[in-house]
């Protein structure tokens, strides 16, 4: 299984961080690979909401990376499954607050089927790049 995770502490409350993450329309502000995103169905940031997003793929070509929110516990947990595109990982943002600061752990997991397992290292590297973008999330939220 391909796996990546990263953790960062942000000088904002868990409620602020959660609200920003839950609204997928904010993805373009901190995730460099997101070129376009829109709410495809459901209520923004709520359980079951589906976001349609266009990502920068290999060699700069656009790919779909639509996702559905699978868990929504304000201030604590936001989880999603990618439902369109070549890779369909499960992701979680796990939040914990202390003294008005929030630690965010971003976890991505992808079970590669059959012969695709030979790509595990490459997929893991790509996912590590994605979770590393928490640095940009911190910068964006703390600048507000």
pLDDT digits (tens, 9 = 90+) for 1-23: 889 999 999 999 999 999 999 99
Query: What is the reported pTM?
Result: 0.92
Q: Would you tell me how many other CB atoms lie within 10 Å of the CB of residue 99?
A: 6
- Give the CA angle between residues 39, 40, 42 to the nearest 5°: 80
Give the list of residues 6+ apart from residue 63 with CB closer than 8 angstroms, or none. Answer: 54, 55, 56, 57, 85, 86
Over pLDDT 90: what percentage of the chain? 81
Q: What is the pLDDT of residue 58?
A: 79
What mean pLDDT is predicted for residues 26-41? 97
What mean pLDDT is predicted for residues 27-39? 97
Is the distance from CB of 4 to CB of 130 less than 8 angstroms? Answer: yes
Phi, psi of 139 (to 5 degrees): -60, -45
- Give the CA angle between residues 67, 70, 71 to the nearest 5°: 135
pLDDT tens for 103-126 read 999 999 998 766 555 555 667 888
The token duo for 60 is: 């700069």
User: CA 94 to CA 132: how far, in whole Å?
Assistant: 15
Q: Which CATH number fits domain 2-143: 3.40.50.1390, 3.30.1330.10, 3.30.2310.20, 3.30.530.20?
A: 3.30.530.20
Phi, psi of 79 (to 5 degrees): -125, 155
Higher pLDDT, 59 or 72: 72
């Amino acid at each position: 299984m391909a796996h990546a995770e990263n953790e960062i502490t942000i000088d904002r409350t868990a409620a602020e961080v959660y609200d920003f993450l839950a609204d997928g329309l904010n993805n373009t502000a901190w995730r460099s690979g997101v070129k376009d995103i829109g709410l495809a169905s459901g209520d923004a940031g709520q359980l079951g909401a589906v976001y349609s997003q266009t990502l920068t793929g290999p060699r700069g070509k656009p790919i779909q990376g639509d996702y559905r929110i699978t868990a929504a516990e304000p201030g604590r947990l936001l989880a999603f499954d990618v439902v369109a595109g070549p890779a369909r990982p499960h992701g979680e943002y796990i939040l914990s607050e202390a003294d008005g600061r929030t630690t965010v752990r971003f976890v991505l997991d992808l079970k590669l089927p059959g012969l695709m397992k030979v790509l595990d290292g490459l997929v893991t590297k790509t996912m590590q790049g994605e979770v590393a973008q928490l640095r940009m999330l911190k910068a964006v939220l703390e600048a507000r």
